[in-house]
Every structure is written in C-alpha cells, then in structure tokens.
A = this chain, B = another copy of it.
Amino acid sequence: MDTTLAYPSIPTNKIPVSSKSTIASKKEHTKYVYTFGNGKADGDRSMKILLGGKGAGLAEMSALGLPVPPGFTITTQVCTWFTNNVGKYPPNLDLQVTESIAAIEQITSTRFGDPHRPLLLSVRSGSRVSMPGMMDTVLNLGLNDTTVQGLASDSRDPRFAYDSYRRFIQMFADVVMGVPHHHFEHILEQHKRACRLKLDTDLAVEDWQQIIAKYKQKIHSEAGRDFPQDPHTQLWHSITAVFRSWSNARAVTYRKLQNIPNDWGTAVNVQAMVFGNMGDTSATGVAFTRDPSTGGNALYGEYLVNAQGEDVVAGIRTPQQITLAGKAANRSNLPSMEEVMPGLFHELNAVRQTLEEHYSDMQDIEFTIQRGKLYILQTRTGKRTARAALKIACDMVDEGLITEDQAVMRVDPGSLNQLLHPTIDRTAERHVLASGLAASPGAASGHIVFSADEAERLAQGGEKTILCRTETSPEDIHGMNAAVGIVTSRGGMTSHAAVVARGMGRPCVAGASDVNIDYNANFMEVCGRILQEGDIVTIDGGSGEIMLGQVPTTEPELSGDFSRLMGWADKWRKLGVLVNADTPEDCRKALEFGAEGIGLCRTEHMFFEGVRIVAMREMILAKNVEERRKALRKVLPMQRDDFAEIFRLMEGRPVTIRLLDPPLHEFLPHTETEMRTVASAAGLSLEYVREQVSRLRETNPMLGHRGCRVGITYPEVYEMQTRAILEAGAMVGKETGVDVEVEIMVPFVGVEAELRIVKESIDKVAEDVLVKGKMVHYVVGTMIELPRAALNAGKIARQARFFSFGTNDLTQMAFGLSRDDAGNFLPTYEKRGIIEADPFVHLDEEGVGELMRFAVERGRKTRSDLKVCVCGEHGGDAKSVRFCHKLGLDCVSCSPYRVPIARLAAAQAALSSEL
C-alpha cells in the first residue's frame, strides 16, 4: 500500500493547521508561514504580494477543496528580512516551520525523516510575478540513506526510490552546495559505459546505489564537506538556497529588464511530494482551461505517462494530447488522456470548471497523477494569443462569467497587432539569417531589391519585393509603397523607414546591423552569406527576423469578436482616437479601424513625387521671392487636390494638417542629374545650384532650418499651403454639403512670436480666400516638440487653439538623442538596463512626460479649452496611451494600423483610473 504518498482527504484536528490566530495571539509574533492542505488554507488568492503567485494559488485551490498536496508558504517578507539581515532569519520562523511540517505530517500520516514512512518535500520559489527559470528548486527532499529504504518498501519500487534519491542528491549538490550538474552527469555516463547500459531505465537498484556512493564522494571532494543526511539540515539549506537565488545575477538582471523592484522578494513553497513517475497509472501534465491559441471553450493540454514535471518541459519525450479534439487537431497518433484515463480526465475537467468559475478567467494548470490519484500543483492566469484573448473575452461575457468592461480589460492592446497583419505560420520552419528591430508588424516574402525605383518597376510587373536599404529617406516613399516589406541596416524604432512603414502597414525590420548592403554591386552580405538582388527572403516585422526563402504566412482575419470588443472599448474610453494619415489609402484604412479624424496629416510626403520635387527644389534654390512664388504656384493645384481628396474621404471629421516641417536640406538634389534637372527647370546655372546645395547642407539637420523656421524665412511656402488647404476645404464643403473642419498645425515652434507671425499670415490668406461664409472652418494650433515650447506653453497657448505633442522630436530633444544615430548605443543601453525601454517606443514618463505635464498645465491655464493631443508614434503604444489618459489629454493620434490598439488602450486606461 502506497499510503506514504497518498494523502488522506479526511481532516484531522490534532494539530492547529490554520494556526494564524494561534501563533499571533500566543506569541505576538509576525506570521511568516502560511499553511494549506486538506481543504483549508491560511492564505488566499488576494495575498500574492505576501505569498507570491504560486503560494496564493495553492492556498486558494486548497480552500476550494481541490486536491492540492499539503504544504506551507514562507512569505516574501522573510526574503526581504533575509536580504537585509545578511542571511539571517527572523526569530520565531523556525518554530512556525516546525509547526507547519507537523501539520503536513498529520495530513499525510507520514513523518519527516521517518525511516519507514518518510515525508518527502519539494521546495520551490514563487514571487509576485512569474520569473520563469530564474530561481532554484529542490525536489525529493527528506531522502537519506535510511529513508530511501522506507520509500523503497513503501512504494514497492526500490528502483524508483534510489533513482529519486540520486536525483535529490544531484539537485541539492547543485543548488545548495555549488557542485555543478556536469560532475554527476559524467559519473552516470561513466557507469553506463562501464556496464554497457544505454538508457536510464536499464539501470537496476544496484547501479543506482553504486552511483549514489560515487555522487557522495564527488560532493565531498568538490565541496569539502559531506552531503547532509539530516532532513532538517537539508530543508533549511534548501530554503536558504531559494531565498539566495532571488539575488543571483541572472535574476537581478531579469528584474532590471522587467522593471521588477528588488525589494519585492520571493516566497518559498514547501509542499509534500507527489510523483508522476510511479508507473503507468502515474502521469504529469499541463493544461489550459480553454484553447490558448484559438480560445475554444474546451480543456486543452498535454501530458506524459510515468514522468515527472521536468520531463514535459524538457521535451525529451513527445507529449500526448489530453483531449480527443486536441489529438485530432494536432494529428497526434499517441493516445489522449480522454481515452487512456477517462475517469481522471473527467476529474480534471471538473477542476477546470471549478477554477474557471472561481477565477472568471482562463487558467493554466499543472497536475500530477500519482498511481491513479489526481493532484493539482499550480494554477495561474493562462497566456493566450490575441485571437484567443478576443474569443475568450467575448465568450465569457456571453456565458455571464464577466462583464463587458472586464472583457475590455482582458485583451492586451499591443497583441492586436497579431490580428491586423499577416503572420508567419506558427508551424512553419524558419531559417533566420539575421535580426533587427521589430519596426512594423506583419510578415511578408518577396524578392530582394536595393532601390525604390526597382521595387516600383517590379511591382508594376506584379512581383513582390522586399526593399533593402541602409536607411530610407522621403525619396524612397514610392518604393516603400510598392514593396511588400522593408529592411534597413541602420536606424531605430522611429527612423524614417519604421515610421513610414507603420503608417503604410508594411512589415519592416529596421536597424538590422548584420546586413551590409553594397548598392554598387547589387548584393548584400548577411553574417557572411551573400544575397543577390532577386533572392527571396521572408521578414517578420513583429519579431524583427529576416529569413531565407519563402516562409508560409497566415492572412489576418478580423472576427466579429474584434468589433464587439472594440465597440465595448469605445463606450468606456475618454480619449479621442485619431489617425496619422497622409494619403487616401491611409484614410480609408483608418476609417475602417475606427479613427475619428486625422490628428496628423504630414504635407512633406506630398512634395516628393515626380514633378513636385523639382518645383520644390526650384523654390528652395530661387534667387528671390518672385522666383520662389513662381515655383510654388506649380505646387499649389497639386497640393489642393491632395487635400480635397482627403477632405472628401473624411466626410466632415476633423482633419489636422501640419505645415511643412522637415529641414529644407532634405529636399535638396543629390546627384548630378537631379541638379541638372533643377537648374534647367529653374533657369539657373548648374554651378549656382551646386554652390547652393553645398551651402544649405546642415551639420545637424534635426536641429536646423526646419518647421516654422522655414515658414518664417520663406513665408511664401506656408502661404501656398494655407491657400491649398482652405481652397480645397471650401470646394469640398460646397461639393458635399458637409462642413469641412480643418486644424492647421504649425510645427517646431519654440517661441510665442513664431506662432503669432505664422498665425497672422494664415489669417491673412484666409481673408483673401474669403473663407467666411463658406463651408470650411479652420483653427490654428501648434506642435509641442521642443522642450522650450513645453515650458513656455503658457505663452504659446495665447496663439494656439490646440497643442499636439510631437513626442518623437520631444524625445530626441529631451534626451539629446537622434533617432537616426541611436543604433550605436541604444541597444546596449536597453540590454544593460540603463534605460527601461527604448524611449521612442514607450514614452519616457520621467523626462518627456514631465515636459508634457508642464505643457498641459501651463497651456490650459492660459486657455482652459485648449485641445491637447499626441501625434508622435507613442499615440499607438498602449503604455504611452495610458500615460496620456492620466495627463488628461483630449486625444491621441497614431498610424492607421495602431488605431485599434489606441482605442483599446484608451478604454483600459479609463477603466483602470475608475478603480
């Protein structure tokens, strides 16, 4: 009879297990140890901070009456005490542990160290948040030369007993005594070779006994002391080792990266052992209460017969499916648990039911079956794909398990990216050549090309291309649009390539520094491998990977769940969600995704096309105002048409148009041919053009002659743009019968006078266009993208009806960080935890956020109805959107594909702040 290891479910009252009040009242000491088991528990799920995730889950399940092996949790408080007091424990802890062990002994009818029916324990870490594999674990604790014999006779399986003992010795030596694993692997290998044995299962009891003797010798010679036979010594050393592992190097690094405070500490869970490796009626497995991939409402998971938990994780044996459905879906030819152990399967299914109803969420559980008896070892909220998250949230609302607002909180906004773009088929094999930044999500395959023109040429023939460039510039836009994906070897998350790609919804891997492109020879070298133009690659913009050949992808499919959830989100959110859109395609996509208007329409992209760029260059190189006006007159009708098209599509929704922003520098001709073209178009000498081009080059264009500085030194440019905007507005208003609402946004303002001057000029053009009485309304506002503007917002607001934070530039200025040049050190900074995250991805709340706070406060003090928005890339980042909500902004604006993310994040922010 294997009574040692089966824990009777009959409660016993001899020892006060729920000793919370007892200890507290008797000794007036802090309670450091929380017991669970036998349908009871000192703790519950609300006590994650004290008991860690695992401990709280075990307590909760135990109190629910689920079959949890009894045990106790030493609190995270002890970890902190231990760390602060250089390895000492608080007084009274030993007594509480002793009492708790007695409680386990009582339930299991075993005794710790008993030669006949020894209690065996597991010692596991468990912190507030999961830190997978970072800390240590000891299993089978309590075995020694004597108790192993008890286990052997009690389990009627001496081979199992000695195998368990040698496993324990090996684990203990490694974790506690610092004798590395490989020494023991080596001994085992030597023994097998000497005895000509192949598999571990070929070893007999005697083999294990010999090996155990060698293990002990090795420990003595390596550690200079013996493996301890006393179970209490074993236990305390193991507890100490787990607490110590909280401060080991990899855990500290992990916490730094994950931004987990060091003073949270870990709890230690000590629990009676159960074994899944006691023959064919034993098993171990992991299960999800719903399908984590599709969200399907059925048990889903894998198990292994006659195995321990590690074996499932280690992947040595192929795991079997739990359900028949799973077996079918995975085309497995191994029998499912549903078939092999139908009774236990139904028991597990009942546990699933209980946990889902209790937690109102999908759970990820670990279980072990020991000789036909089911034990649950862990429960926690299950990770899931975006698709599953959506389905589960909607289903649970339908099932009455959660409310609509709870459903909104259940989906990670960032994960929606998976739904909106094609993704690499999960089952496909990938040959990854190199990695870069996951700059714009989605997967795509195509022929490599190295120039925008080539991409366009091939696209006209129906070919799919991946445009590979060192970096991109506004002149590459047509090629980026023609390609199905973009790779750059330089630049960060807000480099030109990344920003434009996200806007277009093109997958993009940016800053792949292992890619070396040779434009002259038309090839690229990637980690020693040469790829010629025309070779096929696949890129995953969601992971940043570049793969050789055509890797199968899955097309996105927007389910009804998506729009249901979005609908709920819109009910809750306070922030308006607008789109950064420059083209009709952007507008259409954005409307489909629920944008409420345009928060940023950049006009510079409109200047790069064919004829326009020549006119633009003529303008810049003009010798006087008249010549400049002449050049601009060529651009006016084209720009007016662009705006008209956008106004038509937006059907009266607000449209914020930013006047020309980039440095003039960017528009200059580069090649001899380009210079010749401009010279002849403008009637200038080639020499003059060359001279001017060299004169206008800038050392730091980001800080140069750009934004309203151009608008003030060349007022004709903004006048033309204003005229184009207002004429287009008046035209479309009349044509459609719907009033056009336009917000004219002046970029790069640092001083109130700049905005005043530009605003006066806009108003003057408006008078001239006779806007009054027509169906177009405009207001003037500004970007806040300079630290000085943020600090001076009180004055600037005198001239502005609205602010829009250009958080990309604001980040560049606040950090003194060029997004184009950050690649040489920013990755190192992230890796070493010098910065929490790339500030171009998640808004830097301490620096940039502080400037925003000042701007909002000071701006609204001057003008209480000032509309404040964000139109930097951060407008589509969930964490940043939350911050914007807290700051009390009116709206965020982001690229079309990020609109749903912003809507959901805004709703979650609103719901969170209500709590």
Residues of A in contact with B (beta carbons under 8 Å apart): 516, 691, 696, 698-705, 709, 712-713, 748, 750-751, 753-754, 757, 785-788, 791-792, 795, 809, 812-818, 820-822, 824-825, 828-829, 832-835, 844, 846-848, 850-851
Contacts and interface: CB of A to CB of B under 8 A. Distances in A.
Contact of A821 (B701, B757, B824, B833): B701
A691 B817 CA distance: 24
Given A788-B848, A828-B713, A847-B787, A699 B753 contact: no
A331 to B, nearest CB: 48
A851 B700 contact: no
Contact of A712 (B698, B705, B785, B825): B825
Given A814-B813, A815-B750, A791 B851 contact: yes
B834 A753 contact: yes
Contacts of A788: 814-816, 844, 846-848
B821 A703 contact: yes
A858 to B, nearest CB: 10
A701 B812 CA distance: 12
Contacts of A829: 712
B712 A751 contact: no
Nearest to A256: B753
B834 A757 contact: yes
Contacts of A754: 834
Given A787-B851, A825-B705, A847-B791, A700 B751 contact: no
A761 to B, nearest CB: 13
Contact of A703 (B516, B703, B748): B703
A521 to B, nearest CB: 13
A817 B818 CA distance: 13
12 contacts: A699-B820, A700-B702, A700-B818, A700-B821, A703-B816, A703-B817, A704-B818, A786-B814, A787-B814, A788-B816, A795-B846, A809-B816
Contacts of A699: 701-702, 818, 820-821
Contacts of A516: 691
Nearest to A816: B786
A817 B795 CA distance: 20
Contact of A815 (B696, B712, B786): B786
Contacts of A850: 791
A572 B700 CA distance: 42
Given A791-B850, A814-B787, A825 B709 contact: yes
Q: Point out which of A516, A705, A750, A835 has the most chain B C-beta atoms below 10 A from its C-beta.
A: A750
Contacts of A832: 712, 753, 757
A814 to B, nearest CB: 4
A260 to B, nearest CB: 16
Contacts of A847: 750, 787-788, 791-792
Contacts of A851: 787, 791
Contacts of A753: 832-835
A688 to B, nearest CB: 12
A455 to B, nearest CB: 23
A824 B705 contact: yes
Interface centre among A754, A821, A828 (most CB of B within 10 A): A821
A256 to B, nearest CB: 9
A516 B688 CA distance: 13
A38 to B, nearest CB: 49
Contacts of A848: 788
Nearest to A817: B703
Contacts of A834: 712, 751, 753-754, 757
Contacts of A786: 814-816
A727 B757 CA distance: 58
A848 B821 CA distance: 25
Closest 6 CB pairs of A and B: A788-B847, A703-B818, A700-B818, A787-B787, A704-B821, A699-B820
A813 B787 contact: yes
A513 to B, nearest CB: 9
Given A698-B820, A713-B824, A757-B834, 8 more contacts: A699-B701, A700-B818, A703-B812, A704-B821, A712-B825, A750-B814, A786-B815, A788-B844
A156 to B, nearest CB: 59
Contacts of A812: 703
Contacts of A701: 699-700, 821
A754 B812 CA distance: 17
A732 to B, nearest CB: 34
A326 B832 CA distance: 75
A785 B814 CA distance: 10
A422 B461 CA distance: 73
Interface centre among A751, A788, A815, A844 (most CB of B within 10 A): A788
Contacts of A792: 846-847
A23 to B, nearest CB: 41
A505 B337 CA distance: 88
A713 B825 contact: yes
Contacts of A828: 712-713
Nearest to A786: B816
Nearest to A713: B825
Nearest to A791: B850
Nearest to A471: B699
Nearest to A844: B788
A316 B844 CA distance: 68
A751 B815 CA distance: 9
Nearest to A828: B713
Contacts of A822: 704
A829 B822 CA distance: 31
A340 to B, nearest CB: 54
A813 B815 CA distance: 8
Residue among A700, A705, A813, A824 having the largest count of chain B Cβ atoms under 10 Å: A700
A850 B793 CA distance: 12
Contacts of A709: 825
Given A698-B821, A816-B785, A821-B700, A835 B751 contact: yes
A913 to B, nearest CB: 24
A278 B704 CA distance: 62
